Amino acid sequence: MKLVPEEYTSPICPVCGDKNHADGRNYECKSCGFRYHRDGVGAINILQRYLGKKFQVVAGLAPVRGVRFKPHLCGHGVKNAPWKAA
Protein backbone atom coordinates (compact mmCIF):
# COMPACT_ATOMS: atom_id res chain seq x y z
CA MET A 1 0.00 0.00 0.00
CA LYS A 2 1.32 3.43 -0.85
CA LEU A 3 0.20 6.72 0.63
CA VAL A 4 -0.97 9.41 -1.75
CA PRO A 5 -0.90 13.01 -0.55
CA GLU A 6 -4.16 14.89 -0.96
CA GLU A 7 -2.61 18.33 -1.27
CA TYR A 8 -3.69 20.34 -4.32
CA THR A 9 -5.99 17.64 -5.71
CA SER A 10 -9.21 19.68 -5.75
CA PRO A 11 -8.09 22.56 -8.00
CA ILE A 12 -6.66 20.33 -10.76
CA CYS A 13 -9.04 19.26 -13.53
CA PRO A 14 -8.94 15.44 -13.83
CA VAL A 15 -9.76 15.65 -17.55
CA CYS A 16 -7.36 18.24 -18.96
CA GLY A 17 -5.04 18.98 -15.99
CA ASP A 18 -5.78 22.71 -15.89
CA LYS A 19 -5.83 24.48 -12.51
CA ASN A 20 -9.09 26.18 -11.48
CA HIS A 21 -10.59 27.33 -8.22
CA ALA A 22 -13.88 25.85 -7.10
CA ASP A 23 -16.87 28.11 -6.55
CA GLY A 24 -18.01 26.95 -3.13
CA ARG A 25 -18.50 23.18 -3.39
CA ASN A 26 -18.86 23.19 -7.19
CA TYR A 27 -15.93 22.77 -9.53
CA GLU A 28 -15.97 23.85 -13.16
CA CYS A 29 -12.97 23.76 -15.49
CA LYS A 30 -12.72 26.89 -17.60
CA SER A 31 -10.69 25.08 -20.28
CA CYS A 32 -12.67 21.91 -20.99
CA GLY A 33 -15.97 22.59 -19.18
CA PHE A 34 -15.78 19.60 -16.81
CA ARG A 35 -18.18 20.12 -13.87
CA TYR A 36 -18.42 18.14 -10.65
CA HIS A 37 -18.37 18.42 -6.86
CA ARG A 38 -15.07 19.74 -5.50
CA ASP A 39 -14.50 16.70 -3.25
CA GLY A 40 -15.25 14.34 -6.14
CA VAL A 41 -12.60 16.06 -8.25
CA GLY A 42 -10.08 15.59 -5.44
CA ALA A 43 -11.00 11.91 -5.10
CA ILE A 44 -10.57 11.30 -8.85
CA ASN A 45 -7.16 12.99 -8.77
CA ILE A 46 -6.06 10.96 -5.73
CA LEU A 47 -7.05 7.75 -7.54
CA GLN A 48 -5.14 8.82 -10.64
CA ARG A 49 -2.06 9.56 -8.52
CA TYR A 50 -2.39 6.21 -6.76
CA LEU A 51 -2.65 4.29 -10.04
CA GLY A 52 0.16 6.35 -11.56
CA LYS A 53 -1.78 7.05 -14.74
CA LYS A 54 -4.62 9.16 -16.02
CA PHE A 55 -7.80 7.48 -17.14
CA GLN A 56 -10.86 8.70 -18.96
CA VAL A 57 -13.35 10.36 -16.64
CA VAL A 58 -16.94 9.48 -17.47
CA ALA A 59 -18.87 12.56 -18.52
CA GLY A 60 -22.08 11.55 -16.76
CA LEU A 61 -20.86 10.94 -13.22
CA ALA A 62 -23.49 10.29 -10.58
CA PRO A 63 -24.63 13.42 -8.79
CA VAL A 64 -23.06 13.86 -5.39
CA ARG A 65 -26.04 15.70 -3.94
CA GLY A 66 -28.13 13.52 -1.65
CA VAL A 67 -25.60 10.72 -1.39
CA ARG A 68 -25.06 10.40 2.33
CA PHE A 69 -24.57 7.52 4.70
CA LYS A 70 -27.74 6.94 6.69
CA PRO A 71 -27.11 4.24 9.29
CA HIS A 72 -30.79 3.98 10.15
CA LEU A 73 -31.42 2.68 6.60
CA CYS A 74 -28.81 -0.09 6.73
CA GLY A 75 -31.33 -2.84 7.35
CA HIS A 76 -30.73 -3.45 11.05
CA GLY A 77 -34.10 -5.04 11.67
CA VAL A 78 -35.79 -2.86 9.06
CA LYS A 79 -37.89 -5.02 6.75
CA ASN A 80 -38.79 -2.33 4.25
CA ALA A 81 -35.36 -0.89 3.41
CA PRO A 82 -35.47 1.40 0.32
CA TRP A 83 -32.97 -0.70 -1.66
CA LYS A 84 -34.87 -3.99 -1.26
CA ALA A 85 -37.99 -5.07 -3.06
CA ALA A 86 -41.07 -4.56 -0.92
Q: What is the pLDDT of residues 32-85, one digit of tens each?
A: 888 888 988 999 998 888 888 877 776 556 555 555 555 555 555 545 545 544
Which residues, in sequence order, are bridge partners of residue 37? 26
Task: Write the pLDDT tens digit of every residue in 11-25.
Answer: 999 988 899 998 888
Q: What pTM was estimated for this model as a whole? A: 0.62
Within-domain flag for 43: yes
Tell me which amino acid residue 62 is: A
Within-domain flag for 12: yes
Which residues, at least 6 apart from 73, have a Cβ–Cβ distance to it below 8 Å? 81, 82
Within-domain flag for 69: no
Within-domain flag for 27: yes
Question: How many domains does the chain fold into?
Answer: 1
* 57 close to 43: Cβ distance less than 8 angstroms: no
Domain that holds residue 39: 8-56
Within-domain flag for 82: no
